[in-house]
A and B are shown apart, each in its own frame.
Chain A
Amino acid sequence: MQEEVIFAGFGGQGVLFAGQLLAYAAMHEGKHVTWIPSYGPEMRGGTANCTVVVSDDPIGSPIVQHPGVAVVFNNPSMLKYEGLVKPGGLLVVNSSLVTATTDRDDITVLNIPATDTANELGESRLTNMILSGAMLAVRPMVSIDTLIETITAKLPQRKRHLLEINVKAIKKGVELAQQQLTPA
């Protein structure tokens, strides 16, 4: 098994953290994993993305041309990565902010109103957890339980009160993905 995931959005949307959380979770499951951020001269509020590779075997390249999974938080990221996802891959779209659409029929597309759902939960910064949950519902490269255990272990004491709502957001993401993929 090898999965390559690109998380992309604006700085401040928790894009890099979503990738790190996945990387920690993969490590806790004893898998090989790499996390690499895009870095360069960026302004505050500019674009941010990271690539996570999760594998049962030692990982060669930590960067990929054609990821199996792209999680896009905003329009510029949608425009950049929609065409790059490899055939058979998964595109997870934050449909609260992304207005661009894809006409690709060779990939699975999940439209998750993550920012709206996060606001309903009372914390817009949960967008990344909702999208992570949705992604793992379709591509269980780590289990949801591990992801929850990981965030429980990683959340510093001063943010402890946010644990419950983060777990809720992850589960909400799973639920939204399952609803979308189950024929009505």
Chain B
Amino acid sequence: MSAELMKGNVAIAEAAVRAGLEAYFGYPITPQTELLEHLSKRMVELERVFVQAESEVAAINMVYGAACAGARVMTSSSGPGISLMQEGLSYIAASEVPCVVVDMMRGGPGLGNIQPSQGDYFQVTRSAGHGDYHPIVLAPASVQEAIDLTFEAFDLADKYRHLVFVVGDGLIGQMMEPAVMPEMRPIRPRPDWAVSGKDGREKHIITSINLGAERNEAANLRIQDRIRVIRENEQRSLEWNIEDARILVVGFGTAGRVALSSVKMAREAGLPVGLFRPITLWPFPEKRLAEIVDGGIQAILVVEMNAGQMIDDVRLVVGHDVPVSHYGRLGGAVPLPDDVLHEIEKIAANIGLTATAMAG
């Protein structure tokens, strides 16, 4: 199939349709409304379910219900809406039903603004609701990645009966890039655990209520077992110019993409700099990061569109072995390539690295 020029929000919506999305429930909020708008046409056209709910609280509870019934289901929102959904997200996690949630992050806290941000990192990677669990969190940095990761998010959700987030920001949502859509897949059969009407078989019970400590501890341990498996199997990342790097820039999504420009500029100036871009924010790609750092990294710069959130995960991996510093823009501001380059140059000076002429 040939490439088409597509807007991130629309691309995510269409990728979900092609992954066999049966039902969508949501409420409009910038910067993800085009996603909902596209589905409002496509889902109806395909005689699937589209509901613009009366609020995000209603939307996530509809998602919960559809997930319990075994439908392939999704919602989408931005920070303020994700906050409203937290109770429902926690019930979904406790009930061990699969669903996909898209968070196109905007400047916060509060109502903030509609500009691009990565301020929801803690919110989505830690639990996105009360209690002990981590959703799987996928962070695309281009329209093609947004398509591929959304398409796959549904399979991951099914495989682990788990919540999967796809997180971007206004920039990923509004940007147009050439991208290729996957072929349409048929709607998958309902899973055998679904609540689908008893009709002679054993009763299926899906609940988030586990009265009594023993019973609830057992449910928690089952979730933790699965989380260990996810952590072992699903870490993903991309990297550039790692081989001889002494400074490592770490950034995800838009910030990682901007940092790629800065790393290229630094390389042209003869500085040994590489880039590490986590694709899974949870599970954080700790194994690969540790290997790279062991390969001779002397300093790390974490670039984010927040005040320093992923930097905690980086520090958990590298400890005190390597100095870790942060460059962040806040409240909807986006770091620019020259600014990140300037930070790289400061670090290079601090650790006594000098530019070497490019070979050849």
Contacts and interface: CB of A to CB of B under 8 A. Distances in A.
Interface in B167-217: 170-171, 174-178
A61 B31 contact: no
B336 A65 contact: yes
Contacts of B113: 40
B257 interface: yes
A61 B73 CA distance: 33
Interface in A47-62: 60-62
Most buried by B among A33, A63, A66: A63
A64 B334 CA distance: 10
Contact of A61 (B115, B174, B176, B258): B258
Given A34-B175, A61-B337, A24 B258 contact: no
B264 A39 contact: no
A61 B260 contact: yes
Given A39-B31, A40-B115, A60 B261 contact: yes
A27 B3 contact: yes
B171 A62 contact: yes
Contacts, number: 61
A34 B176 contact: yes
Contacts of A62: 171, 175, 257
A37 interface: yes
Given A40-B114, A60-B259, 18 more contacts: A23-B5, A24-B5, A27-B5, A33-B177, A33-B178, A34-B176, A36-B176, A39-B31, A60-B260, A60-B261, A60-B264, A61-B257, A61-B262, A61-B337, A62-B171, A62-B175, A63-B334, A64-B337
Interface of B: 3, 5, 31, 113-115, 170-171, 174-178, 257-264, 334, 336-338
| Pairs A-B, 9 closest by C-beta atoms | A60-B261, A60-B260, A35-B176, A61-B261, A61-B258, A27-B178, A36-B175, A61-B337, A65-B336
